[in-house]
A and B are shown apart, each in its own frame.
Chain A
């Protein structure tokens, strides 16, 4: 099963098995991981599942749709070029080994 490593703002890292078809946000919620809030439950409505993706892994991710791009402008921690909403990162085989950094705050 593909794996994703979540790095908290304090630098603690947690690696989880994430089934194909499950989003990076959903896996975090299922494991009760702090640092991702996902207030809207994954509808791309709230921008509280914000993560930063390592630059060299950006190309492995599903393409960003307009809705996500827009909501990223409303994140609590300022957007960076490598910002994504983790509810939109649905696991594919090529995403195995993904590392995401969680922002200082989601709300």
Chain B
């Protein structure tokens, strides 16, 4: 039965996932209306460079943008910037905006991302306590960094360490405070944590592990230091808080959708409402690469591949989401690339020159390869991505054998 009018896809969130969904719909020839609602006032922009080249001043806003404004006009993508969605009327299939206006949809996609976790610490509201997630936060941080002498980073994840490397490069004294006993503990193996701590220490970054922050101290409303539970006070004129994120799922929850570490979707990235999907950082989905367990990933790859999968479904080419997850981080001269999901690994096999800082850590459950962390070893990463995406294994004995030809294995035609 032909539709009485052109169908309309509405996307809430104009980050990597939302932008890619709109762009992919048009690439696939979708002829209906496409509405992209974003609560930031800018054109959609790339986030990874914020904590890297943009913060460092190597690229400007023009190179941060996904596409110029003309792209949205030419592709008939109605971009509503600086607009927040307040409510979803699932009965009438409409998004209610903060200003009360309604935008009807035939299909709605949540690409609402995540927001910074804010610790319930005394002093967290002081001037000089910063975050690094969106453009406005990064612009503020960049300005403050120029006059900064002592920076304390709370949380030793990707963002904190990327910031630490850039701040050190600008001559700022940097102290990283971490609750657990190693860096990037949630995502890399202990061997890789040790490598990165050593690399950062060589450039002068200081670390405190197993360190609990009691309060952020201030004077005249401005941050002055970070007080730890062991009694020490670290001087600071800038504090970067990067202790992870919370998925933005409240709108979905209020619309009656399930929330469990993100908006719950099936392997087609569809919620329990057949007219609503969720993609990117806000979505909890059963991953083909984690034995079907529900995961929520914070990654550009995940965001854009989710978007492509849903765009294909909306033009009638429905397929389960199976893309291989991969991640990267650049910290000073150190390049980290991860292929696959290594959560729950039992064994690590190091391949390459660990002492020289060019190696890969192959992470296993029994003898099944879950994923690989490549440090300054992009070739391994490229080959492992091919192998894992094709569902092929590299056995621990093979990974440990330097004469095993990883390239040949990756390039071989599947049997």
A43 and B382 contact, Cβ closer than 8 Å, known pairs A32-B71, A73-B410? no
Number of interface residues of A (CB under 8 A): 24
Interface of B is mostly: helix
Q: Does B334 contact A (CB under 8 A)?
A: no
Q: How far is the CB of A54 from chain B (nearest CB, A)?
A: 25
Which A-chain residue is minimally distant from B301 (CB atoms)?
A: A39
A32 touches B70 (CB 8 A): yes
Which B-chain residue is minimally distant from A67 (CB atoms)?
A: B378
Number of interface residues of B (CB under 8 A): 33
A43 and B71 contact, Cβ closer than 8 Å, known pairs A66-B379, A73-B379? no
Which A-chain residue is minimally distant from B70 (CB atoms)?
A: A32
Q: Does B1 contact A (CB under 8 A)?
A: no
Chain A interface: which of B46-54, B127-135, B364-372?
B46-54
A107 touches B308 (CB 8 A): yes
Which A-chain residue is minimally distant from B335 (CB atoms)?
A: A67
Interface of A is mostly: loop
Chain B interface: which of A23-31, A56-64, A93-101?
A23-31
A73 and B382 contact, Cβ closer than 8 Å, known pairs A32-B70, A45-B328? yes
Q: Does B8 contact A (CB under 8 A)?
A: no
Give CA–CA (A32, B381) in the complex, Å.
29
| In the complex, chain B residues whose CB is within 8 Å of the CB of A46 | 301
A40 and B48 contact, Cβ closer than 8 Å, known pairs A66-B378, A73-B379? yes
B63 touches A43 (CB 8 A): no
A40 and B308 contact, Cβ closer than 8 Å, known pairs A32-B67, A67-B378, A70-B378? no
Q: Does B142 contact A (CB under 8 A)?
A: no
A43 touches B52 (CB 8 A): yes
Q: Does B6 contact A (CB under 8 A)?
A: no
Residues 370-406 of B contacting A (Cβ, < 8 Å): 378-383, 385-386
Give CA–CA (A72, B62) in the complex, Å.
27
A32 touches B382 (CB 8 A): no
| In the complex, chain A residues whose CB is within 8 Å of the CB of B337 | 45
Give CA–CA (A91, B250) in the complex, Å.
46
B63 touches A26 (CB 8 A): yes
Q: Does A47 contact B (CB under 8 A)?
A: yes
| In the complex, chain A residues whose CB is within 8 Å of the CB of B379 | 66, 69-70, 73
A43 touches B328 (CB 8 A): yes
Give CA–CA (A32, B49) in the complex, Å.
19
| In the complex, chain A residues whose CB is within 8 Å of the CB of B300 | 39-40
Q: Which of A34, A41, A72 contacts B46 (CB 8 A)?
A: A41
Contact flags A7-51 to B (C-beta < 8 A → 1, else 0): 000000000000000000010011110100001111111110000
| In the complex, chain B residues whose CB is within 8 Å of the CB of A31 | 68
A71 touches B382 (CB 8 A): yes
**5 chain-A/chain-B pairs, Cβ below 8 angstroms:** A32-B70, A40-B48, A45-B378, A46-B301, A70-B380
On A, residues with C-beta under 8 Å from B are: 26, 29-32, 34, 39-47, 66-67, 69-74, 107
